[in-house]
Amino acid sequence: MKFTTYFTMNEEEAAMYASEKLGYLFGDEFHLTCKEIGDGNLNYIFRVVDEISGHSIIIKQSGPVARISDEFKLSPDRNRIEYEILKLEDKLAPGLVPKVYGYDSMMNCTVMDDLSDHQIMRKALMEFKTFPRFAQDISDFMVNTLLLTTDVVLEHKVKKDLVKNFINPELCEITEDLVYTEPFSDYKHRNDVFERNKDWVSEHIYNSVELRLETAKLKFEFMNHAQALVHGDLHTGSIFVKEDSTKVIDPEFAFFGPIGYDVGNVMANLIFAWVHSDAHQQGEHKQWLEDTIVETLDLFIEKFSLAWDRHVSEFSAKTPGFKEYYLATVLRDTAGVTGLELCRRIIGLAHVKDITSLGGNVRVRAERICLSGAIDFILKRDKFTCGEDYLITMQAAMSKFARENDE
């Protein structure tokens, strides 16, 4: 096979592709086998192993439509974006992303490190594992990849060239629809709400004009605020972990947008893990998650301030008081996005296993706690200035549910 015309590969074809195109990664003699391991919504992930040496790589191929639904027609250019983003992120945050070896524009695939010695963080947290380095690593990643790609650090023309290079309209449209719009109105009738919570969602989400107004404000900030090079999908399903390592993967949604979009996604998905742990009465694990929720945001704030003082080069940005103003807008956006992510993963089309693995009354409770907290994060987003504020809000939502259901 020449692989000169695009087609979606199967396991056998991916092994042939590696043999023909990537032999230099394996040496003079090799025997390759392949397994498709992708379980995401968009792409095909092939793990190719040399049975002689044991060396393995990942081939990630983009198809013309999303795996989750043929409704979503996608540009395969997202694979090029992912390849270039991973290279850039490795420079900005060394050791916190997988190494990439190549990009094939014809077959729309990227070749990268195999992280099989790590585990997807969502799955690991659902197994009640803890990761002492996570808060330090993820705060390093966010500060270094976000602040260092803003106008306050980069020369303006350099930054604008990067904005052009990472325009990502198809995947941004998915975010605009599935995160910012549909969970609050269901106007396209694609939402997927747990049956026993449908009436609650209608009353507290769909029928709230105040909530819809605030999400509209957040949506247009997302669409028009090219602040930094955001990952765009920074949740626990896009992070590989082991006890001494954290690797961020899947930046195909990346584009220049609000810093708070990435930070809020991390916070929301830690909250999903927290309610899952609580549902299973895992007290020690739940306490670790509470500490991690607080520490993740507080470390981000601390490191952001230090990195600002070290790296900011723009004259106006050095004006006394501007750093504090700028950081306050990031924290406001972070709270809003935390609420959006909590809503869209419960109400919208793409769910998380932290919640869907629960059943009956336990799921009803977990969803309502998340959604009650989400409403506060969106409507009162100016009030969330440290990690403890998030924990207090979620604990209050838990207490509120208990009171309402004892009555």
pLDDT at 225 over 90: yes
Is residue 115 within 8 Å of residue 99, measured between CB atoms? no
Q: How far apart are CA 253 and CA 243, in angstroms?
A: 27
The span from the CA of 289 to the CA of 268, in Å, is 12
Record the tokens describing residue 94, joined without a space: 């060394």
> What's this model's pTM, rounded to 2 decimal places?
0.92
Is the torsion defined by CA of 219, 225, 226, 231 positive or negative?
negative
- pLDDT at 65 > cutoff 70: no
- Domains observed in the chain: 11-112 (3.30.200.20), 119-406 (3.90.1200.10)
Q: How far is CA 194 from CA 4, 225, 268, 355, in A?
A: 46, 34, 19, 10
Residue 356 CB burial class (10 angstroms; 0-12, 13-18, ≥19):
middle
Confidence grade of residue 42 (pLDDT, cut at 50, 70, 90): confident
Segment 39-52 mean pLDDT: 86
Question: Cβ(197)–Cβ(367) under 8 Å?
Answer: yes
Instruction: Classify residue 148 by its DSSP letter.
Output: G
State how far the Cα of 346 lies from the Cα of 365, in Å rounded to an integer. Answer: 12
Task: Check residue 41 and give its pLDDT.
Answer: 64
How would residue 2 be classed by pLDDT, with cut points 50, 70 and 90?
Answer: confident
- Cβ atoms of 247 and 115 within 8 Å: the answer is yes
Cα separations in angstroms, 343 against 96, 274, 315: 28, 16, 39
pLDDT for 120-174, tens place per residue?
999 999 999 999 999 999 999 999 999 999 999 999 999 999 999 999 888 899 9
Q: What is the pLDDT, as a whole number, of residue 20? A: 93
